[in-house]
Every structure is written in structure tokens, then in C-alpha cells.
Amino acid sequence: MFRYAAFVSLLAVGIVFQLSHGVEVNVRDKDENLCLYAKLMVNFSVSYEAADNKSATAEFELPADVTTVGSTCELNTSSTLKLNFGNGHSWSVNFTNAGKVYQADTVTFSYNLGDKTTFPNAASNESKTVAVKPKITDVAVDTCYSCQSKDTLESDLVNQTLWNVLIQAFVSNNSTSENYTTCAADTPTTPVAPTTHPTSLPTTAPVTNATTPTAPPTTTPTPTLPPPTTGKYSFKPDENTTACLMANFGLRISYKQEEMNFDPNGTSVSGSCGVNSSELVLVSTQQMTIKLTFTNDTKKFRLHALNITGKTSAGVAFSEANTNLSMWQAAVGSSYMCNKEQNYTITNQLTIYTFALQVQPFGVKKGAFSTAEECFLDSDLSFLVPIAVGVALSFLIILVLISYLIGRRKSRTGYQSV
């Protein structure tokens, strides 16, 4: 077998498509034959140690400006796609061919903590590598693997979210296939119709002397989840200090209309506390990770970003994030509290419901919540809303009635003067 050094080619020259919708590359062998095609998007979330002995998290995406130095193609046996980007970072996936099908064996991500633009204030300058096994299996030869859904690959310190993936690892005839092998997450589930068995009808209809009313059909109520358990979470930089960030809440998550209660039992807590930004990361035994990022403008703090990754009851992985939120606002040095249930639409697919919420990401003293600023639903003024609405409606009705009487009187006066 020959091992070819592959390179990216567009219009017969070695460059990469630079698209706003991800990275698209054509890898060719030494004879300029297309041997591997890939188009995909990847987001990275990397936790690392900062210089002040605090943990930090960097979030970034695979940029359009990549090179494929190190990519290889071995005819009908194995191939490797390697994308190099930034200051010493690379992302690669290797494939093996089993004859009629092929699969991805390992995704390897290497990152350079010495890149202070990506990892500000990192305590180390070393490069680190993580390897995880993707769910790309049983791809028919001479087809493209397609997966539009998000798939999160988790490791201890790194989460990688892939979506809009289109890959053909073993290209024949110098062109990509028009046939696709679609991932399970993109395949719609079709409900199976109940099977009916024909029965013989009686030749003579039975004679009845009375009409028996037909019982109304019974419907099974949709089961509802119990209220989620309230978790009490706190983060402190080390064992010798008190908590610098505290949060209590019960959480329900709705993804594509499937609701899940977040279980605080066994949940690990990490994060960071800064002057203008603090972060709380919760990893539950349900394989669900929740990252909350708080910011402040020296006067008020707010929840600025929320990222949730996990799996549905059917095992479908998801990753949803919003980095432009303005929730749970209160004065710096106080806490925000809302005991009543609240719901927030985070993305088109994700909604969260909070219960018995109290958070303080800045200015925690002696490991206890400061005086709370209540949400409107908890305040004593909340009962005035229906009263105000009622008064406004009553006033509107009186105004309409007076206008009607005045108009009627003018009409009668005009008739009598004729």
C-alpha cells in the first residue's frame, strides 16, 4: 500500500473553501485524485487552569481558515482527515474500511494552551490532546455520511459538538457520491400502525329489543413530571476559601417538547469567579452538562450565557446555547430570587423552567446569600396586575357607555328639531 501525503484542492489548487457555514475541504492524493471529502461544523468547549489557580472555560469554533497538512489516504484501507488551525491547534478523524462499509475510529483534538488569545491567562503553555470515539459507523462504501443534527463528544475537560456533517472518506472515480448514509438522529421515526386481523361477519344480524348506548372513548392523560428537586450548588476556588458563587434551583429542561428534570444528586460542580464574569458548570449523572455564565457592569449582574448538552430519553444527543441573555438581574452584592415557577425560551429547540431559584454570582460573603432582590412574581405588587386590568376594563366600558348615551341624545335632538 502506498501512503500519500494529501492536500486540499479547490479548482486544482491547494486551498480550502472558506464558508460562513463551516469548513469544506477536498483532500487529493499525489495523482490529484480526490480521495476524501468533508464539510462540517465543530464547536469546542475547553476547561483549563488559569494562572490565578482558578478554572476557566474557552469556547470557540473550528474556523474556516484551516490547512490539511497531515491528512492521508490509503486506498480502500484507511484514511485520516486532519485540520490544522489557529496557533498550534488541530482536529482530526481517522477512518477504516471494512469492505462494504467504513467507520470513523477516533476523533483527536490537540490544543495549545500557549495560545493566550484562545486561552487567556492560562497557567500552562503546554499542548494537550484528547481522543474520543465518534458515532460514525456502518457507512456504506461509495456513499457520503450525512448528519445535520448536533452530536456532542464529551471528555473530561473538552466537549466537541459536531453538526452539518457531510463526509465521504473513500472517494472513487474522482468524484463524491450522490448517495447518502444518514445518521440515526436525522432519521424520522414513523409510528407503526396497529395490526388488525379480519374476522368473519355473522350471516344474520342479532335481534335486539333495546338500544345500548355506546360508551364514550376513554383517553389516557399525558403523564406530567413531578416538580424537580431543588439543588444547592456553590463553587469555591479551593478548600481553604469560602464560596464565591452560589445557586439554588430546581430545573426542568424541555428539548423539542420532551421534558426532563435535572437531578442534582451526584452532580459535580465547577466554575470560576472573576471581577466581571463568573461561571458555574454542573455535570449530572444523567450525562447532562449545564454551563451558566454571569456578567456584571459594576452595578447589576445578569445571566449572560447558558449552554446545555445532554441526551434525550431516546439517547439522542443535543447541545443548545444562547450567549446573549439578560436574565436574573440584580444589584451586585445582592442575590436574585424567584420562588415561583418561571420559564425561559433559550433557543428554538430549548426551554427551561426554574423553581425555588436563588443565585448570587458576585460578592458572596461568608458563604451565604446576601439580601435578595425578588422577581416580580414573588413581589407583593404582583396581585395588583389583575386588579389594574379589571379597573382598566371597567373604565373602558363606562367610557363606551357614556359615548353611546351622548350620541343617542344628539340623534334624538336632531330628529325633534326637524
pLDDT score of 400: 86
C-alpha cell at 361: 454570582
d(CA 9, CA 15): 5
| CB-neighbour burial class of residue 402 (10 A; exposed 0-12, middle 13-18, buried 19+) | exposed
CA–CA dist 382, 404 (Å, integer): 35
Same domain, 39 and 110: yes
Which residues span the domain enclosing 328?
231-379
Looking at the domain assignment, is residue 235 inside a domain?
Answer: yes
Q: What is the pLDDT of residue 383?
A: 54
The answer as to whether 388 is a domain residue is: no
* E strand map for 141-288: 144-147, 151-154, 158-168, 180-182, 231-235, 245-255, 258-261, 268-273, 277-283
- State the Cα–Cα distance between residues 24 and 27, nearest whole angstrom: 10
**175, 266: one domain:** no
Same domain, 171 and 276: no
DSSP string over 299-368: SEEEEEEEEEEEE-TT--EEEEEES---EEEEETTSEEEE-S-EEEE-SSSEEEEEEEEEEE-S--BTTB
CB atoms closer than 10 angstroms to residue 86: 16
What does the DSSP assignment read for 5-57? EPEE-BTTBS--EEETTEEEEEEE-TTS-EEEEEEEEEEEEEEEEBTTS-EEE
Q: What was the pLDDT predicted at 414? A: 56
Single-letter code of the amino acid located at 276: N
Task: Specify the pLDDT at position 174.
Answer: 85
Residue 223: predicted pLDDT? 52
Secondary-structure percent of the chain, ordered helix, strand, coil, rounded to 5: 10, 45, 45
Phi, psi of 111 (to 5 degrees): -135, 150
Whether residue 165 is found in the same domain as residue 27: yes
- Secondary structure (3-state) at 414: helix
pLDDT digits (tens, 9 = 90+) for 296-336: 998 999 999 999 999 888 788 899 999 999 999 999 999 99
On whether residue 199 sits in a domain, the answer given is no
What is the CATH number for 81? 2.40.160.110
> Do 179 and 244 sit in the same domain of this protein?
no
Q: Which three cell numbers stand for residue 7?
A: 492536500
- Radius of gyration over every alpha carbon of the chain, rounded to an integer in angstroms: 31
Do 235 and 148 belong together in one domain? Answer: no
| C-alpha triplet 188, 140, 32: angle, nearest 5° | 125
Quick one: 164 and 237 in the same domain? Answer: no
Of all helices (H) and strands (E), which one includes residue 411? helix 384-416
Q: Is residue 240 part of a domain?
A: yes
As averages over each run of 10 residues, the pLDDT of the chain (418 residues) reads 33 34 84 91 92 87 92 86 95 91 92 94 92 90 90 89 91 87 76 46 44 45 76 90 94 91 94 93 90 94 94 86 92 94 92 96 93 81 63 84 79 53
Express each pLDDT in 170-181 by its tens digit.
998 888 888 889
CA torsion 405-407-411-417 (nearest 10°) is: 90
Contact 131, 107 (CB under 8 A): yes
62, part of any domain: yes
Residue 10: all three cell numbers together: 479547490
Query: In which residue are the cell numbers 376513554 written?
Result: 218
Same domain flag for 89 and 174? yes
313: in domain: yes
Domain check: are 244 and 178 in the same one?
Answer: no
Element containing residue 253 per DSSP (H, E): strand 245-255
Residue showing cell 489548487: 13
Residue 418: per-residue pLDDT = 45
What pLDDT sits at residue 361? Answer: 96
- Which residues lie closer than 8 Å to 203 by C-beta, 6 or more apart? none
For residue 396, tell me if it sits in a domain: no
Q: Which of 147, 152, 132 is closest to 312 using CA atoms? A: 152
* Residue 7 CB neighbour total at 10 angstroms: 19
The reply to whether 117 and 236 lie within a common domain is: no
Amino acid in the structure at residue 210: A
The span from the CA of 277 to the CA of 173, in Å, is 54
Query: Helices H, strands E: what count in the chain?
Result: 1, 29
**Residue 107: which residues within 8 A CB-CB, separation 6 or more?**
91, 92, 93, 131, 132, 133, 134, 153, 160
On whether the CB atoms of residues 50 and 279 are closer than 8 A, the answer is no
Number of domains in the chain: 2
The whole-angstrom separation of Cα 62 and Cα 68 is 13
Q: Based on the fold, state whether residues 22 and 133 are members of the same structural domain.
A: yes
Q: Which amino acid is at 258?
A: E
Q: What is the pLDDT of residue 409?
A: 72
283 part of a folded domain: yes
274 in the same domain as 181: no
Would you state the pLDDT for residue 385?
A: 58
